[in-house]
Chains A and B, each alone.
Chain A
Amino acid sequence: MDVRWKGQDAGQQVGGGRRPAEADSGRADRGAGLPAGQAAGPGMVATSSSPPLHLPVRYMMLGLAGFVVFGVVLAAEAFRLGRDDATVPGVVALTHLLTLASLLSFVMGAVYQLTTVAFLIRLASERAACINFWLYAVSIAGLIPAMAAWWLPGLMVFGTLASVAVIVYAAIVGVTLRRTRVGGPMRLFVLAAHVHLVLAVVAAWLIILAAAGTGALARWYLPLLATHILLAAGGFFTFLVMGFTGKLLPMFTLAHGYPQYRPRWLFWLAETALWTLITAAWTSWRVLWWLGGAAALVVFLWFGLSVWSMLRHRMRKRIEPPVQSAVAAACAGGAGALWLLGQVAARGGSAVWQSVTGFYLLGWVAWTLMSYAYKIVPFLVWTHRHSKRTGSGRPVLIADLLPPARSRPALWGFAAGVVMLTASSLCAWPPGVAVGALAVAAAVIGFAWQLLGVLDIRTTAKEWMARD
Chain B
Amino acid sequence: MIDLDEVREKLRQEVYDPEIGINVVDLGLIYDIAEPEEGLLHIRMTMTTPGCPAHDTLAEAVEWAAAQVFGVADVRVEVVWDPPWSPAMMSEAARAQLGW
Q: What is the interface of chain A, defined by CB distance below 8 A to chain B?
A: 1-8, 10, 17, 23, 29-30, 47-48, 50, 117-118, 120, 182, 247, 250-252, 254, 256, 315-318, 379, 382-383, 386-389, 392-399
Contacts and interface: CB of A to CB of B under 8 A. Distances in A.
Given A3-B59, A316-B20, A17 B98 contact: no
B74 interface: yes
B20 A254 contact: yes
A393 to B, nearest CB: 8
Contact of A387 (B18, B48, B49): B18
A3 B43 CA distance: 9
A118 B55 CA distance: 12
A8 B98 contact: no
Contacts of A254: 20, 48, 87, 98
Closest 9 CB pairs of A and B: A317-B99, A387-B57, A2-B76, A47-B56, A117-B53, A318-B99, A4-B78, A48-B56, A3-B77
Interface in B51-90: 51-57, 59-61, 63-65, 67-68, 74-82, 86-87, 90
Given A389-B14, A389-B64, 13 more contacts: A8-B50, A23-B60, A117-B51, A118-B51, A252-B19, A254-B87, A256-B87, A379-B53, A387-B18, A389-B61, A395-B16, A397-B16, A398-B18
Contacts of A2: 63, 74-77
B56 A251 contact: no
B39 interface: no
A318 B52 contact: no
Contacts of B74: 1-2
A8 B90 CA distance: 21
B98 A399 contact: no
B52 A251 contact: yes
12 contacts: A2-B74, A29-B56, A29-B60, A47-B59, A251-B19, A254-B98, A256-B87, A316-B20, A318-B98, A387-B18, A392-B14, A395-B18
Nearest to A398: B18
A7 B81 contact: yes
A117 B18 CA distance: 16
B100 A4 contact: no
A145 B62 CA distance: 52
Contact of A182 (B18, B51, B68): B51
A392 B68 contact: yes
Given A182-B51, A251-B52, A395 B78 contact: no
B16 A317 contact: no
A355 B93 CA distance: 49
Contacts of B100: 317
Interface string B1-32: 00000000000001110111100000000000
A414 to B, nearest CB: 24
A3 B80 contact: no
B52 A3 contact: no
A182 to B, nearest CB: 7
Interface residues of B, number: 40
Given A29-B60, A316-B99, A389-B61, A48 B78 contact: no
Nearest to B74: A1
A23 B63 CA distance: 10
B51 A3 contact: no
A396 B19 CA distance: 10
A46 B15 CA distance: 21
A46 to B, nearest CB: 10
A242 B75 CA distance: 41
Contacts of A387: 18, 54, 56-57, 60-61
A6 B57 contact: no
Contacts of B60: 3, 23, 29, 387-389
A2 B19 CA distance: 24
B47 to A, nearest CB: 10
Nearest to A254: B48
A393 B63 CA distance: 16
A411 to B, nearest CB: 19
Contacts of B18: 379, 382, 386-387, 395-398
Contacts of A247: 51
B58 to A, nearest CB: 9
A454 B18 CA distance: 16
Contacts of A50: 53
Given A3-B63, A7-B81, A251 B57 contact: no
Nearest to A2: B76
B86 to A, nearest CB: 7
A388 B57 CA distance: 7
Contacts of B90: 315
Contact of A6 (B53, B76, B79): B79
Q: Which of B14, B52, B53, B99 has the most CB of A within 10 A?
A: B53
A393 B13 CA distance: 8
Contact of A10 (B53, B57, B63, B82): B82
A191 to B, nearest CB: 17
